[in-house]
């Protein structure tokens, strides 16, 4: 059954050769660059290979046992959940707020919008550099001014501050992205609804929550899932640059561990096993995504 | 849409452009240096290329140390490996274990007939990269050792004599008290904490960091970094951290930014920090030997190196290896080494280069630049001070960093932290052992 | 798109000022890191390394940007910018084309294996390239695609996000249009070109922006597969300007390069924002 198969087209064209030709490029590319390598990763998770691929020892599920018996690996699930939720909240709430007030403006809204979407164009790896630059212990410009105010910023020792910093650095570019989606969604809200909400200025926000926000729920659900997936996978560049998973293990998220075990530790067996575990986790997330995206179609 | 399609066509046409082939024998050299060091490497390569016309060395920067090693490994798996790969010292065991992927330097040199005298290299430098039989596996390229940097102005500002004796940690401890009392906010800062405050600490006091001669004598090695000397040192450091006398700034050399900005009084960092400190520091600074604990272990033994060496990779034509041999021989020459040593603060790899530097009067003009050389070569290395050869060592350093952070933040005692580091590190060593059996 | 109601909302005095105030505050906070990067790219190294660094631009703009443009790490920044551009456009255009075609096939045809193919494509939503990077590298090397644009682009096209979004959109195209086309005896591809493509215009624009940014911002993949400096991309280049050992980072040049690296994606996002937003609105319906 296809996801949302009740949404099938009633009207279709005949023939089977043409659709096969049309779908072929994507299928071929997926097979070569996705399924074969992913299969390899699953296969490799059953071995302890040496880094150069010269030999490999079959260990069955040994790599999984090794991982799941490691309390730091288990802790990393919690870290990942905390990190992903924080990134999602910190990127969506300000974005929604900014989108709502941008939506209320005509004059100047273009200028604000243009400035607000810049961070989206900054690569996560570079964003990490920028934030580290500002928060370098004692010499970064922000931490220096904090020091003048009597606050001793030290994210290299304080796990909470480290988590805060990587969350903000990861969420920053996403605020722009989410802002664009929310802004677009608000523009699509029927004007009578906005009008009704706007009549009584003092209660704008209350009405916003009761009337406009529910209309944005498809977008919100969509962004929720997209941002969680982003926090899961695409933030490792930020963490790599700013904390390398530290202090202690306070910012070691799952995908960073895949990267660091595989590319710092050259332990491809463990790294592959972690990929497989991640695959399962993302599989679950995708099922959730289906539910929400299908729900979205009903609107 | 049309425009997009045209763009796609144009893009796909460029897919097929082959790389230009050249007639000369090409030697690929992948390294991890950028900025000024990258320029110096490029100059060495250009100079070699200009000196003869049989071989062309093509140098390419492949990211930082870890990234360069990864690129080399991935390329080997794909049959696209370079001839020469720069690998940092912690990757030594990984490379050594990869029989079939690497071609030992002594073999390359013997086959190529290039000029090569293993005895010309400084023992403490080459020791890290030779087998227990004394055969050189990789060519030491950039090596440094930790020293103590002093900001004289900060001492004066805190009312402490900048010429005070800082040879032992006991004396440093007293000085830190005085600096703190004199209003200094950042008395001590460090770079590369595991390398300086554990690996070098162990070698300097002639106590083992790991069993089996620090891993030189076999893969079945276990960490011994939870010994008395190490724990005592880390306990003292932990106390200093608690009192705000030792400021922790990060796992790498982040502390350098604080020291160079004049924020800190003392700085334990590699001798290779010289160029950066000289360029940015607007204060008078001194180089002192790394302090040791009076009465602990066998101190001062000798410190060990950090840095990188050049590994030759298997799978190329015999003709190529001749070129590799010539290039490595060129790199080892006294002039090249002396210039490298003087420009960077890295140690010379040959005795002759060190002597040439001394003869040129460089040490007199730049006081302190020979501290590292003296400290390294003061004593004949022992089994505890020859170096470290541990699998997955980069990852083990990560574990050590984590545990040290637990000490600095007061979450764990030094003993607890090091016991945990041993337990976690040993698990990785066992995995490495089973991968390379 | 303009709604009269806006005028009404705007007229309320205090509320309007408050709205502007919030907006300005938001922009200040969000834009600050970029401003700081710009400032850092216009001053000298000593001004940056000695805290506090200035927060207003200095007079070293030309010096730093000239250094960034003409020195680079392995190759000039211009070459890296060009490579990034080819990679980003290649990924965006390539993915859009194959996704349009396969989404069309899935939505408008019943053919053997359709379900299997759909699931196959859909599975690729999972597991980003970072997680399967070593085997993927081996495949690419096996095809001799190291140091080529195809090696940079193709593995990153193997993901289903765009296909899925197009499928969602095609499902909302009224059946009457396809019915009419069928009654007229129009061939499927005629229908695709005349009806479906023009209707998807804004969706294509929105996806182009998203995919362009995705391609532009890649770091780990180009780092691994480009061993020839001539093929380096700009994001790689910035990271490579950081010294790996004990040397110092040249902040003004690094920041100048970072700013240069932002310009093309910013141009794409800003110039296409109108279409982009319309594309998002359309796919909402």
Q: Domain limits of chain B? A: 23-143+306-365, 146-303+391-435
pLDDT at C271: 87
Show the beta-strand stretches assigned E in B253-397: 266-270, 285-288, 306-313
Q: Residues of A with CB below 8 A from C118's CB?
A: 2
The CATH class given to the B146-303+391-435 domain equals: alpha beta
Q: What ipTM was predicted for this assembly?
A: 0.85
Question: How many other β-carbons are positioned within 10 Å of the β-carbon of residue C7?
Answer: 10
A259 — pLDDT class (breaks 50, 70, 90): confident
pLDDT at C4: 38
pLDDT at C9: 47
Inter-chain contacts counted by CB atoms under 8 A, chains A and B: 105
- Which domains occur in chain A, in start order? 12-58 (no CATH), 70-297 (1.10.3720.10)
Question: How many other β-carbons are positioned within 10 Å of the β-carbon of residue C50?
Answer: 15
Q: What is the CATH number of domain C73-284?
A: 1.10.3720.10
Residue B5 has pLDDT above 70, yes or no: no
C283 — pLDDT class (breaks 50, 70, 90): low
Does B280 contact C249 at a Cβ distance shorter than 8 Å? no
Q: Residues of A with CB below 8 A from B315's CB?
A: none
- Domain regions of chain C by residue span: 73-284
C73 — pLDDT class (breaks 50, 70, 90): low
3-state secondary structure of C147: coil
Surface of B (188-217) touching C: CB under 8 A: 191
Does A32 contact C106 at a Cβ distance shorter than 8 Å? no
Q: Residues of C with CB below 8 A from A19's CB?
A: 105-106, 108-109, 111, 114
Does A283 contact C106 at a Cβ distance shorter than 8 Å? no
Q: Does A187 contact chain C (CB < 8 Å)?
A: yes
Look at residues A195, B95, C150, B116 and name the one whose alpha carbon lies nearest to residue B84.
B95
- Residue B131's alpha-carbon distances to A25, A91, B104, C37, in angstroms, are 53, 54, 10, 48
As a whole number, mean pLDDT of residues B314-342 equals 93
Does A48 contact B431 at a Cβ distance shorter than 8 Å? yes
| pLDDT digit string, tens, across residues C161-215 | 788 888 878 888 888 888 888 887 778 888 888 888 988 888 898 889 989 999 9
3-state secondary structure of C70: helix
Residue B81 has pLDDT above 70, yes or no: yes
| pLDDT digit string, tens, across residues B332-378 | 999 999 999 988 889 988 989 989 999 999 989 888 888 998 898 88
DSSP C148-160: SHHHHHHHHH---
Q: Which CATH architecture has domain B23-143+306-365?
A: 3-Layer(aba) Sandwich (3.40)
Q: Are strands B285-288 and B146-151 parallel, antiparallel or unpaired?
A: antiparallel
Surface of C (155-214) touching B: CB under 8 A: 197, 201, 204, 208
Cβ contact B342:B362 at 8 Å: yes
Instruction: For residue B133, give how far its alpha carbon lies from the nearest alpha carbon of chain C (Å).
Output: 30
Q: Are strands B246-247 and B188-190 parallel, antiparallel or unpaired?
A: parallel
pLDDT at C285: 41
Q: Which residue of C has its CA nearest to B34?
A: C243
Look at residues B235, B169, B249 and name the one whose alpha carbon lies nearest to residue B407.
B235
pLDDT at A199: 60
| pLDDT digit string, tens, across residues B39-61 | 889 999 999 999 998 999 999 88
Summary mean pLDDT of chain C: 83
Instruction: For residue C86, give how far its alpha carbon lies from the nearest alpha carbon of chain B (Å).
Output: 7
> Helix axis angle, A159-187 relative to A71-103, nearest 10°?
40
Whose tokens are 């497989």? That residue is: A276
Does C132 contact A44 at a Cβ distance shorter than 8 Å? no
Mutate to test the interface with A, among C134, C211, C241 (most CBs of A within 10 A): C134
Q: Does B252 contact chain C (CB < 8 Å)?
A: no
As a whole number, mean pLDDT of residues B188-193 equals 95
Q: Mean pLDDT lowest for which of A129-143, A183-197, B85-99, B357-371? A: A183-197
C76 — pLDDT class (breaks 50, 70, 90): confident
pLDDT at C284: 46
Tallying the residues shown for chain B, one arrives at 437
Cβ contact A52:B98 at 8 Å: yes
DSSP C163-204: HHHHHHHHHTS-HHHHHHHHHTT--HHHHIIIIIHHHTHHHH
Residue B429 has pLDDT above 60, yes or no: yes
Surface of A (46-75) touching C: CB under 8 A: none
Cβ contact B159:B153 at 8 Å: no
Element (H, E) at B102: strand B102-103
Which chains share 3+ C-beta pairs under 8 angstroms with A?
B, C
Which chains share 3+ C-beta pairs under 8 angstroms with C?
A, B
Residue A293 has pLDDT above 80, yes or no: no
As a whole number, mean pLDDT of residues A200-222 equals 75
B22 — pLDDT class (breaks 50, 70, 90): very low
Instruction: For residue A39, give how far its alpha carbon lies from the nearest alpha carbon of chain B (Å).
Output: 17
Q: Does C7 contact chain B (CB < 8 Å)?
A: no
In sequence order, what are the beta bridge partners of A57?
A48
Does C223 contact B67 at a Cβ distance shorter than 8 Å? yes
Q: Which residue of C has its CA nearest to A129?
A: C239
């Amino acid at each position: 059954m296809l996801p949302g198969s009740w949404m099938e087209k009633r009207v279709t064209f005949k023939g089977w050769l043409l659709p096969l030709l049309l779908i072929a490029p994507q299928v071929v590319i997926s097979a070569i660059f996705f399924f074969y390598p992913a299969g390899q990763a699953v296969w490799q998770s059953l071995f302890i290979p040496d880094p150069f691929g010269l030999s490999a020892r079959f260990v069955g599920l040994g790599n999984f046992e090794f991982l799941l018996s490691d309390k730091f690996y288990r802790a990393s699930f919690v870290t990942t959940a905390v990190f992903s939720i924080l990134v999602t909240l910190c990127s969506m709430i300000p974005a929604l707020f900014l989108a709502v007030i941008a939506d209320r403006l005509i004059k100047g809204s273009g200028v604000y919008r243009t400035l607000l979407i810049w961070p989206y164009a900054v690569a996560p790896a570079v964003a990490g550099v920028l934030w580290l630059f500002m928060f370098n212990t004692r010499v970064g410009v922000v931490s220096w001014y904090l020091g003048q105010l009597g606050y001793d910023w030290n994210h290299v020792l304080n796990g909470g501050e480290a988590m805060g910093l990587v969350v903000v650095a990861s969420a920053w570019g996403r605020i722009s992205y989410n802002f664009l989606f929310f802004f677009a969604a608000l523009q699509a809200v029927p004007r009578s609804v906005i009008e009704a909400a706007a009549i009584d200025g003092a209660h704008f926000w209350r009405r916003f929550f009761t009337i406009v926000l529910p209309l944005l729920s498809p977008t919100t659900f969509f962004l929720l899932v997209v941002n969680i997936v982003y926090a899961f996978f695409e933030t490792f560049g930020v963490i790599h640059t700013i904390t390398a998973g530290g202090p202690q293990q306070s910012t070691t998220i799952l995908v960073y561990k895949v990267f660091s075990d595989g590319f710092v530790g050259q332990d491809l067996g463990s790294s592959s096993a972690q990929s497989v575990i991640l695959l399962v986790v993302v599989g679950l997330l995708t099922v959730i995504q289906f539910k929400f995206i299908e729900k979205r179609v009903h609107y | 849409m049309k425009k997009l399609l045209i763009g796609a066509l144009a893009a796909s046409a460029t897919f097929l452009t082959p790389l230009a082939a050249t007639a000369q024998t090409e030697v690929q050299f992948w390294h991890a240096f950028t900025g000024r060091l990258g320029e110096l490497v490029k100059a060495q390569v250009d100079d070699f290329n200009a000196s003869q016309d049989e071989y062309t060395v093509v140098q390419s920067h492949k990211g930082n140390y870890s990234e360069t090693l990864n690129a080399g490994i991935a390329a080997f798996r794909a049959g696209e490996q370079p001839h020469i790969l720069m690998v940092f010292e912690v990757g030594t065991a990984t490379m050594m274990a990869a029989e079939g992927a690497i071609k030992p330097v002594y073999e390359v040199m013997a086959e190529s007939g290039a000029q090569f005298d293993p005895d010309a290299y400084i023992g403490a430098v080459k020791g890290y990269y030779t087998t227990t039989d004394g055969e050189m596996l990789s060519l030491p390229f950039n090596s440094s050792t930790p020293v103590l940097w002093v900001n004289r102005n900060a001492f004066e500002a805190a009312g402490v004599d900048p010429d005070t004796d800082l040879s032992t940690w006991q004396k440093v401890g007293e000085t830190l008290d005085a600096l703190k009392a004199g209003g200094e906010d950042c008395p001590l800062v460090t770079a590369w904490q595991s390398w300086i405050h554990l690996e070098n600490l162990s070698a300097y006091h002639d106590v083992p960091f790991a069993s089996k001669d620090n891993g030189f004598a076999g893969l079945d090695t276990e960490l011994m970094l939870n010994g008395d000397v190490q724990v005592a040192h880390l306990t003292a450091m932990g106390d200093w951290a608690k009192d705000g006398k030792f400021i922790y700034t990060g796992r790498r050399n982040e502390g350098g930014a604080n020291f160079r900005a004049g924020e800190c009084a003392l700085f334990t960092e590699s001798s290779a920090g010289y160029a950066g400190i000289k360029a940015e520091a607007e204060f008078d600074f001194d180089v002192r030997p790394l302090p040791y604990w009076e009465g602990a272990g066998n101190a001062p033994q000798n410190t060990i190196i950090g840095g990188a060496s050049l590994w030759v990779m298997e799978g190329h034509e015999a003709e190529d290896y001749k070129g590799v041999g010539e290039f490595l021989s060129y790199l080892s020459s006294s002039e090249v080494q002396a210039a490298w040593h003087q420009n960077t603060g890295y140690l010379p790899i040959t005795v002759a280069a060190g002597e040439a530097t001394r003869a040129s009067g460089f040490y007199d003009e730049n006081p302190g630049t020979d501290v590292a050389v003296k400290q390294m070569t003061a004593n004949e290395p022992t089994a505890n001070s020859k170096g470290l050869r541990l699998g997955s060592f980069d990852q083990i350093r990560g574990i050590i960093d984590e545990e040290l952070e637990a000490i600095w933040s007061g979450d764990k005692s030094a003993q607890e932290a090091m016991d945990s580091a041993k337990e976690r590190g040993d698990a990785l060593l066992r995995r490495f052992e089973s991968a390379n059996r | 798109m303009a709604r009269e109601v806006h005028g009404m909302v705007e007229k309320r005095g205090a509320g309007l000022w408050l709205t502007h105030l919030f907006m300005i505050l938001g922009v200040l906070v969000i834009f600050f890191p970029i401003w700081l990067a710009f400032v850092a790219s216009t001053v000298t190294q000593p001004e940056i390394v000695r805290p506090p660094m200035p927060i207003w631009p200095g007079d070293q703009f030309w010096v730093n940007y000239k250094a960034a443009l003409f020195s680079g790490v392995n190759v000039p920044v211009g070459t890296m910018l060009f490579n990034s551009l080819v990679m980003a456009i290649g990924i965006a255009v390539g993915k859009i084309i194959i996704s349009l075609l396969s989404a069309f096939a899935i939505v408008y045809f019943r053919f053997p294996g359709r379900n299997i193919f759909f699931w196959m494509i859909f599975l690729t939503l999972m597991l980003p390239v970072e997680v399967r990077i070593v085997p993927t590298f081996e495949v690419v090397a096996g095809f001799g695609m190291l140091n080529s644009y195809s090696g940079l682009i193709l593995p990153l096209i193997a993901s289903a996000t765009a296909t899925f979004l197009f499928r969602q959109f095609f499902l909302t195209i009224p059946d009457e249009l396809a019915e009419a086309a069928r009654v007229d005896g129009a061939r499927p591809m005629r229908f695709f070109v005349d009806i479906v493509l023009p209707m998807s215009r804004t969706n294509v624009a929105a996806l182009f922006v998203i995919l362009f940014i995705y391609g532009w911002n890649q770091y780990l993949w180009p780092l691994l597969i480009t061993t020839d400096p001539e093929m380096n991309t700009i994001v790689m280049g910035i990271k490579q300007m950081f010294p790996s050992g004990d040397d110092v980072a040249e902040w003004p040049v690094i920041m100048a390069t970072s700013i240069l690296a932002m310009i093309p994606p910013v141009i794409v996002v800003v110039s296409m924002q109108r279409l982009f937003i319309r594309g998002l609105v359309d796919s909402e319906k």
